[in-house]
């Protein structure tokens, strides 16, 4: 199961560092630590790894990452994959961001977004 978290990540990246404005986004991002995350980038590649870090600019660091990209050659598999390890994905390249979590967690994240 996946839950879109891009809005939370952008809010955190845009926070000014004061405790009152960043406490809610920081709490939401802390809940995502060490979860499997799928990040799509603008050139069509996807990175699946464990969420490790998010900086103030919105750059994401994934560990134990696998890169998936489509192949244009005729092969049995339409996607190629390779193991990369630790990867930094700049916020300017990010197209989508999903995290693996249970249905209950998805509902709690949605409720927190609506408030």
Residue 19 in any domain: the answer is: no
Residue 78 · residue 92 · CB < 8 Å: no
What percentage of the chain reaches a pLDDT higher than 70? 70
Residue 101 in any domain: the answer is: yes
The CA-based dihedral angle spanning residues 22, 23, 25, 29, taken in that order and rounded to the nearest 10 degrees: 120
List phi, psi (to 5°) of 70. -75, 145
Residue 22 in any domain: the answer is: no
CATH number of the domain encompassing residue 103: 2.30.30.100
Domain extent for 50? 27-112
For 63-80, write each residue's pLDDT tens digit.
Answer: 999 999 987 766 666 889
Residue 8 in any domain: the answer is: no
For 93-103, write each residue's pLDDT tens digit.
Answer: 999 999 988 88
Residue 106 in any domain: the answer is: yes
pLDDT number for residue 10: 44
Residue 1 in any domain: the answer is: no
For 24-53, write each residue's pLDDT tens digit.
Answer: 888 888 888 999 999 999 999 999 999 999
Residue 75 in any domain: the answer is: yes
The number of domains in the chain is: 1
Residue 78 · residue 50 · CB < 8 Å: no
Instruction: Give the global pTM.
Output: 0.70
């Amino acid at each position: 199961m996946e839950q879109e978290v891009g809005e939370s990540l952008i809010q955190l990246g845009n926070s000014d560092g004061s405790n009152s404005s960043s406490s809610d986004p920081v709490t939401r991002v802390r809940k995502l630590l060490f979860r499997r995350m799928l990040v799509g980038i603008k050139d069509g590649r996807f990175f699946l790894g464990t969420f490790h870090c998010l900086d103030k600019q919105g750059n994401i660091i994934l560990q134990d990452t696998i890169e998936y990209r489509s192949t244009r050659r005729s092969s049995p598999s339409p996607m190629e994959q390779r193991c990369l390890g630790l990867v930094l994905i700049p916020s300017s390249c990010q197209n989508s961001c999903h995290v693996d979590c249970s249905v209950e967690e998805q509902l709690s994240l949605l409720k927190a977004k609506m408030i």
